[in-house]
Every structure is written in structure tokens, then in C-alpha cells.
Structure 1
Amino acid sequence: MPAKISKNIFPSIMLILILIFTSCEVKFGVNTDSVLPYISRVDIPLKIYLNAQAPQLITVYANDPQGRSDIKSIEYEVFTSNEDKSIGKGTCYDTGDNGDIVHGDGKYTAVLDPGIFSGVPGEYYIYFTAFDKEENKCPVFSDTLNVVNEVQNLAPQIVSVTVQDTVSAEQADSLLVRVKVWDPQGTADVCSVYCALYIPQTTEPEKVFTLQKEALPNDSVFTGVIDLKSNSAGPGIYSLRFTAKDSCGLESWPLVKSIYFNTENHAPVLSELIAPDSLSRSDSTPFTLKITVNDEEGLRDVTKVWFTVKRPDGTEIDNIFDMYDNGESGDETAGDGIFSLAVTISSQNDTGVYEFTFKAKDRSGLESEPLVHNITVVE
């Protein structure tokens, strides 16, 4: 016989349900792996000198799935060896100052003040946290600081750089640079000098040149020839970033020179289009359109290659179809100047003549002459 349920139990059940649903807030989960900023690497000097005579820099490499612009700050905090006391905290910068070199390159730099150690050598812990603009933060990134009471080996310094500030097309493959370096430990301690070439609107070097020391006694002058022509992206302002390194691996503060590459700019040129003359709309097999692009200022000067399509009735398809030279999207070989795109048609396409118009654009906005090709779609 079924048990008899008292009528008084229903108000109790209702009360419990009301308490459950009014005492909590329903939240949809967020995949934090895809939204959190993250720290991929930290560069810390092997030794932190208590009596440092030069800035001691810490560099944090950070990024964000939404882009580096979404990173609000990189904070650090230093603790004693037993981790029971915080002795200092600060911010790492990617602003091109406060010890940072290139603004917006994802390398966040802090100048560490040895005064926070109160003259006590030993091992300390340092913790880094990245915050985005919505105050999301990454898991803490930790490392150790080896603080010593020793005489610091000082890094070399670049005293001067001699290079012309305007370069013509005729001079582009033989730009002479001359760098004078000083080292507190003596000129023999300087082992190498480098020149990193940055083309316009980039934060990564296009090429790094090694300079050679002049064969003069007690002289620390390094010279080299920079080839702008083969590493060109057209006319504009280029940056030369000079760095010296000593026998202990310490690097100088970089010295940056800006030069203007003054050359006549040329629009890209399209040639050698590979495309069918006709297609059957009943065949959905992908086909690849290929076109060769040349630019007198080099392929790096080409920023966009695309085509547009007109239907048989003369109306234009809204989409602009970008073509690629990256080894993907139907392209076979990256960087060979052949831009490609894999395309398919279907039974939804009207029969008739479709007009394909191909164009390319360079960094200065110059566009190529259009190349037009007709493809007839049949049953």
C-alpha cells in the first residue's frame, strides 16, 4: 500500500526550492584559456649586484589571445628567500621608455632597484602577473634573483654612430656605418657589434648585420655595409638599431638611428595568371587561381592581392577575394611571388560569363593595373 503523504510536506518542499533558487546566481562558464593574458618567458640577469653601477633590467615576454593591446599591465613583486616578506613591487613597461626599447613589441621591461635588498645578498623570489583591461590575470609566473655583493662587470656603451640620414636608390646596397664603442673593462672586452634593420611599420628586425672591428691598436671602432636594396619595402623611414656585446655576454643599451630611404616608388605588376576559361557548375571540384606579382621595391612592399567578380547579369559580388603567398589557402610555396586562392562553384551559380578582375597594392597605396579574365560557367 503506497505511503500516505502528509499535506504539510508540500509547503516545506516549496520553501526548500525557493531557498535554493534565491540563494545562488547562475553564471555561464568562461573558457579562461582563451581569454587570459599569458607570460611566455622572463629574462633575468644571472646576477643582481647590490652596488650596481648600471641599470639592471628584467624583461617579460607577454601576449594576449585578444591581442597585445588588450594587456593593461605586467606587475611584479619581490619576496625574501623564505617567501614570508614582500620587499618591493613594480610595473614592467612596453612603452619605449622606462628601460623598454621598442614600444608595443610584447617585451615588458623593468629597471630593478638594488636598494630593495637592503644590502643583504642571497636568493630572492620574484613573481610576475599579467592583467588585461577587464582585470583578468594570468597564473603567476615565478623566478629567482641571485643577489650578490661583488664588483659588477659593466656592459659596453655605444659612443657614436656615423651613417648618412638619407639614402638614394643608387646607394641602397652599400650603406656604410661606423660605430665607436667604449667598455669600462677596456676595449679588448668588446667582442661584437650588431646592427638590426627595421623596415617601416614593423617591430621585428628584417635582418641583423654583424659589424667588423677596424684593425687599429687600442681602438674600438666597428664598421660594416648595410644592404637596404635587398631588404627593402619601398621608400620610407628605416631604423638601424646598434648593440654591442662584451666577453661576458652583457649588451649595451641600443642606439637607434633613423634613415630615410628616398627612392621612386613603383606600383606592383601582375602577370602570368593561371585560371580556367570555362567551368561546369555540376563539378564542385576546387580549382586554384594563381597570379604572379612583381614589385621593383621587393615582395615585402606588396601588402594585398585580390580579385572581384561580376556575375553574368553585370552585378558585382559583394565579397573581395584575397589571394595569398603564404603556403596556405591553395598556395603552394610561401614567398615565391605567386599569389593563389582555391575556389569552388556549385549548382547555385548562374550559367554565363563571369568577369574576374585582379589587382595588387603596395605599402604606399599604389595599385597595379587591373588584370581582367573571363570564366564561362556552363551546365
Structure 2
Amino acid sequence: MKFLIKKLSHIFLIIYLSLFFISCEKEFDTVIDVQKPSFQVVSVSPKDSVLFNVEDSSLVLKIEFTPTSTINTVTTEIINPAGKSFLNDALTLYDNGKSENGDQTANDKIFSNKIFMKSNDLNGNYNIKFFVNDNSNSNKLAAWSTFKFRNGQSNVAPVISNALVDPDTAVVTDTIPILTSLVVQDDNGLNDIKEVYFIVYRPDGSTNNNKVFLYDDGNLTRYGDQTAGDGIFSRIISINQTNEKGTYRFEFRAVDRGGLQSNIINYPVLIQ
């Protein structure tokens, strides 16, 4: 009887362990059983420098997949050097063999379409994201590319004027907000401005070289700028009783996307 009980216990243990491992195996399979993409990217373009062409300003965006790839649709999003969307909406690429889409051969798994660059488009790097809708009927980021655009215009350095620090003299017993602003002009347009900033020099002439950036975004609450895109760049900073007493120097500058620097304006600020 004891032998029978022991044998049954042994059989039960085997059955229990078998069920346990089967259950564990099922959970593991569920975790790793993820549907794989049904496509593979071979190449994308453009990915080099692009110079504006007056006679033909079109630029072909292209992505090639392996012949065995299953593709429903391909779309792209383009981000300009200012970090904004270059197009109003996503651009669809086609594998239809039509020249108006920049596609040479239909059904060859090379999807293409054209965009048209303008002479006033920003110089700099444009980022392209390629999205694929495959047999899973969901959009997936398949690839991305970057091309550098030159609009062909002569680059002119920005000019700054009317620097303001208000107040520029303060007796500090508590935290005091200070409005700084600057007028910036650029013959290549305000979109060509990469950054506007000042560097603070302490009364002893030392500095940490940190750039304090000014903005022309109309965000009155955050930066103190009243109107977006009017060429007046602003920034609110604050000082308190821990600041060293004496005359500081605020050095204002602007830099465009071609790397050209503006004139420099030095503004004295007295903290007492």
C-alpha cells in the first residue's frame, strides 16, 4: 500500500511538473510570438547634399525594398532644419511607374515621389522618416534619412540692434525679474536665424560662457516675448541677493544657419 501511494505520488509529481512546464512554455511562446515585419529595406534617398536648381527644383524621395517584401502603402514625414514639418501632411510614395511621382518602374518594390524645393527654403539638414503599412495593417517606421539643402542664395550675416535690459540697474533685496530683448534682422529671412543669445560677464570679467537664449515665439509667459516672428527676441531672467554686486556685461550675439555671426552688442548691468 505504501509502495502504491509512493508510486502514485511519483506519477502525480511527473504529471504536475509536465503541466507546469507546458504552462510555462505557453506563456513564453506568447511573449515571443510577435509578428515580424514583412518587409526589408534595401536603400533610401536622398542622403547627400542637395543644391537648389532654378531649372528643376524637384527632389525625388525614394525607398527600395527587397523583392519579397509585402507593402501596402509608404508615407514620409519631413522635418526642416528649424525642427518643423516641411509639408502640411504626410507624403505618399508610389510604385506606379509614373514620372510625375519620380517612379521609373511599376511594381519593382521601389517607392518614390517628388517634392519641390524653393530658393527661400531653409539651408541645413532635412530629416526624412519613411513609414510602411504592411500586411499587419499598421504603420511602422521603416527607415530614415538626412539630406543637406543649400538654397543657392548668398548668405548674409544677421544684424542685431536695440538691445535692452530692463531694469539695467537694480538694488537687490529679493528676486527681481529682468527682461532682455534684441532686434534681429537677416537679409536671408528670420527663418535663417539659428540662435540669438547673450553671455554674462561678471564684475571681475570672468564668465562661464553659458549662452542665455532669446526667443521670438510669442510665448509671453515663459520667455517674455510678445509677438512671434516680429524679429524681436526676448528672454526673462532673474537675479537675487546671492548675485555678486557690481557691473556685469551682457554680450549679445546672433548666428545664422550658415554659421555667420552678427555684430556684438555689449550692455552694462549694475547690481547693487
TM-score for the superposition, normalised by structure 2: 0.54
Is the CA contact (8 Å cut-off) linking 2:165 and 2:179 kept in structure 1?
Answer: yes
State the match for 1:194 in structure 2: 75
State the match for 2:23 in structure 1: 82
Distance 1:215 1:354, change over 3 A: same
* Partner residue of 1:219 out of 95, 106, 126: 106
Distance 1:276 1:256, change over 3 A: closer
State the match for 2:9 in structure 1: none
1:124 matched to 2:19: no
Task: State which drifts further: 267-276 or 168-177.
Answer: 168-177
Task: Give matches, 1:83-122, under 5 Å.
Answer: 83=24
Task: State which drifts further: 164-173 or 238-247.
Answer: 164-173
Displacement of 1:310 in angstroms is 6.2
CA deviations 1:100-157 (Å, max 9, x no partner) are xxxxxxxxxxxxxxxxxxxxxx5526xxxxxxxxxxxxxxxxx82337xxxx997245
Task: For 2:73 and 2:38, locate their aligned partners in 1 and report how far apart those are by CA, in whole Å.
Answer: 12
State the match for 2:207 in structure 1: 318
If each structure's helix is expressed as a fraction of its own residues, which one has the higher value?
2
Aligned amino acid, residue 213 of structure 1: Y
State the match for 1:331 in structure 2: 223
* Partner residue of 2:136 out of 236, 248, 252: 248
Gapped runs of 5+ residues in structure 2? 1-20, 99-104
Displacement of 1:368 in angstroms is 2.3
Which of structures 1 and 2 has the larger relative contact order (alpha carbons within 8 angstroms, sep 6+)? 2
Task: Give matches, 1:347-366, under 5 Å.
Answer: 349-350=245-246, 355-361=249-255, 366=260
Distance 1:371 1:224, change over 3 A: same
Is the CA contact (8 Å cut-off) linking 1:214 and 1:222 kept in structure 2?
Answer: yes
Report the aligned-residue RMSD. 5.1
Displacement of 1:168 in angstroms is 1.9
State the match for 1:117 in structure 2: none
1:279 matched to 2:190: no
Displacement of 1:331 in angstroms is 0.9
Aligned amino acid, residue 359 of structure 1: R
* Partner residue of 2:32 out of 137, 145, 148: 145
TM-score for the superposition, normalised by structure 1: 0.42
Gapped runs of 5+ residues in structure 1? 1-79, 86-121, 126-142
Aligned pair count reads 229
